[in-house]
Chain A
Amino acid sequence: MSVIAPTEGVPYAVEHFHAATAPPPPLEDIHSEPRLVRAVVIALAILFMGLFILLPLANVFVQAFSKGWAAYGAALVDPDALAAVRLTLLIAAISVATNTVMGLVMAWAITKFEFTGKSLLITLVDLPFSVSPVIAGLVFVLLFGAQGWFGPWLIDHGWKIIFAWPGIALATIFVTFPFVARELIPLMQEQGTQEEEAAVTLGASGWRTFLKVTLPNVKWALLYGVLLCNARAMGEFGAVSVVSGHVRGETNTMPLHIEILYNEYQFQASFAVASLLALLAVVTLLAKTLLEARLGRKGGH
């Protein structure tokens, strides 16, 4: 990957040194560090990454299978585990769908028009990233909890938000709020409005222009945002933990189920459920790497 960048410089450098009168010093010396320094830097990087990143990841899978396939399977088909998987899928579907639609709407408003306060709006869209997940849960408890502002009214009408799935969905939507919009905004800003304006001038409706011109232009970035949004939605722990109430088989998402099993010393079962989420993370990263190649993200767009 980085082969592209350095080799680009080499022919230029060679020319450069031939032009000089002094005999060209070996390229390696001016371009890079002594061999020993290089070896130490690479070894340190691999050691650190191995210890801090790879080992925890490997540990999840090893512990998950520590009692064999049968125990692994048993932990996954446990009714509470299945309920947790179902709830996680439901929550992810709701939050990814709303954030995708609203991400597109927000990106359209922000990038296709000029208005005052635009950069403030962009900052506000990113705001949930700098809020602790626990606080994200807390704010919804304050609004909809039994002691909250709308709590009594909701209870009178028989609606349950906190300690039920709607609260979990709200908290998840909050923490995943920026993912789709922030991938779309820089790209759509760069693409400008010319193509859309041409379509509209030729008589296409706004909706048709969006579907036929804008959407195809941003599809990979959109997919990228959806992917990251989904990974976070399925794995969110702090915010969901505050609003869930931890009712087994009812309001437990997968991360909460993992916590309960772990605290009950059912380590192997806990890691078995965790391995599903770890697998999701690995698949997400693979897809992300593929998409980055498509988006030309690393080559400097």
Chain B
Amino acid sequence: MTPAPAAPVLAGAPAARPPAAPPAPGAPRRHPQRRSALPGFGLTLGLTVLWLSLIVLLPLGGLFLKTAELTPERILAILTAPRTLHALQISFGLSLAAAATNLVFGAVIVWALVRYEFPGRRVLDALVDIPFALPTAVAGIALTDLYSTNGWVGRWLEPLGITVAFTPLGIFIALVFIGLPFVVRTVQPVMEDLDRDLEEAAATLGAGRLTTIRRVILPAVVPAFLTGFALAFARAVGEYGSVIFIAGNLPNVSEIAPLLIVIRLEEFRYADATTIACAMLLASFALLFVINALQRWSQHHTGRLG
């Protein structure tokens, strides 16, 4: 097999650095042999740090500071209020369910796109990105209209006694919609890079197709699936625009955490809004950490395979 099966673009950065000589304790900031002859280091790095701080770090830091002004009892009281707990439960629970659904159907879609030839395959491939590109408000009203009782889909579900619009099921549908491309686009390149020779080898050694899929293909794509799942989950937890139209937004029943933040803000209950926001941010940072670890792990993994 050729040495480098192109690492996923997402995580290309850290691995691309050549292994330097073991650094001396308290190594200098710029390694002598790697010193760049190019100008603009101070200027561009300074601007980068300044811009990043002004737009991202200070505002986010302000949120944490604002919450830190509250007593621990107050924070606990806000977070354990039934309405907050329900909102968090709805957001995290339904996001988990939607990401799991995306995992299953994402697998089917990736398999069809990568392994099979059929009419309309390229169109299907391009359509996967629609949830990325379609503004969330547009997706929100379109889904609501589709699943309302006289909508294209809703009218078929109503006789069956299934109501989607303005129920938690509607939230689930919206979260499945926005999460799908995360799974497909994370797994697809890994699946395309798989070495078919390994499958042939397995087949010639007598493995059935199912065994080959389970023992040869699956181990190679599991890290990508996990990353895609985590990305879809992270996106779903914070999602607002596509959900609020279809959700019904009944407190304790179909009210998502981001909406509760907006409501508290409109009621000028800043403490509540910032505390819930902090809890959600910490959760998504933890997820980000997991995603990064997964990507490093999968890079290591696929690197070993070669």
Contacts and interface: CB of A to CB of B under 8 A. Distances in A.
Contacts of A115: 29-30, 41, 45
Interface in A131-148: 131-135, 138-143, 147
Given A16-B204, A113-B38, A170-B55, 15 more contacts: A30-B200, A30-B203, A44-B112, A45-B108, A45-B112, A46-B112, A105-B44, A114-B31, A114-B36, A142-B270, A189-B13, A235-B137, A238-B240, A262-B141, A267-B145
A53 B136 CA distance: 13
Q: Which of B124, B133, B136, B173 has the most CB of A within 10 A?
A: B133
Interface stretch (A68-76, A116-124, A152-160): A116-124
B265 A138 contact: yes
Contacts of A256: 137
A54 B127 contact: yes
Interface in B117-148: 117-118, 120-122, 124-143, 145-146
Interface string B244-285: 010000000000001101100100101001100100110011
Contacts of A278: 134, 138
A42 B118 contact: yes
9 contacts: A32-B115, A41-B111, A49-B124, A51-B153, A135-B280, A139-B60, A140-B59, A193-B36, A193-B38
Contact of B38 (A139, A197, A270, A274): A197
A48 B143 contact: no
B288 interface: yes
A135 B238 contact: yes
A225 interface: no
Contact of B36 (A54, A105, A112): A112
Nearest to B241: A237
A264 interface: no
B142 to A, nearest CB: 4
A38 interface: yes
Which label, helix, strand, loop or mixed, suits the secondary structure of the B interface? helix
B193 A9 contact: no
B36 A55 contact: no
Contacts of A238: 136, 240-241, 258
Interface string A216-246: 0000000000001001001111100110000
Q: Which of B48, B109, B288, B292 has the most CB of A within 10 A?
A: B48
A277 B180 contact: no
A109 B41 contact: yes
Which label, helix, strand, loop or mixed, suits the secondary structure of the A interface? helix
Interface string B1-17: 00001100110111011
B138 A274 contact: yes
Contact of B196 (A6, A17, A48, A254): A6
B9 A186 contact: yes
Interface in A246-301: 254-256, 258-259, 262, 267, 270-271, 274, 277-278, 281-282, 284-286, 288-289, 297-298, 300-301
Contact of A134 (B16, B39, B138, B240): B240
A3 interface: yes
Interface string B181-215: 00000000100110011011001100001000000
B284 A242 contact: no
B78 interface: no
A99 to B, nearest CB: 9
B100 to A, nearest CB: 14
Contact of A130 (B121, B139, B287): B287
Contacts of B56: 124, 127-128, 174, 177
Interface of A: 1-3, 5-6, 9, 12-13, 16-17, 20, 29-33, 38, 41-42, 44-46, 48-49, 51-57, 59-60, 63, 102, 105-106, 108-110, 112-116, 118-119, 121-125, 127-128, 130-135, 138-143, 147, 149, 170, 173-174, 177, 185-186, 189-190, 193, 196-197, 200-201, 205-206, 209-210, 228, 231, 234-238, 241-242, 254-256, 258-259, 262, 267, 270-271, 274, 277-278, 281-282, 284-286, 288-289, 297-298, 300-301
Interface of B: 5-6, 9-10, 12-14, 16-17, 29-31, 34-41, 44-45, 47-48, 51-52, 55-60, 62-63, 66, 105, 108-109, 111-118, 120-122, 124-143, 145-146, 151-153, 173, 176-177, 180, 189, 192-193, 196-197, 199-200, 203-204, 209, 234, 237-241, 245, 258-259, 261-262, 265, 268, 270, 273-274, 277, 280-281, 284-285, 287-288, 292
Contacts of B281: 131-132, 135
Contacts of B129: 285, 288
Contacts of B203: 30
**Which 9 A-B residue pairs are closest in the complex by CB-CB distance?**
A235-B135, A132-B238, A206-B39, A237-B241, A238-B240, A30-B203, A109-B44, A139-B59, A45-B112
Contact of A235 (B6, B16, B134, B240): B134
A237 to B, nearest CB: 4
Given A52-B177, A53-B177, A271-B141, A301 B36 contact: no
A138 B31 contact: no
A102 B240 CA distance: 28
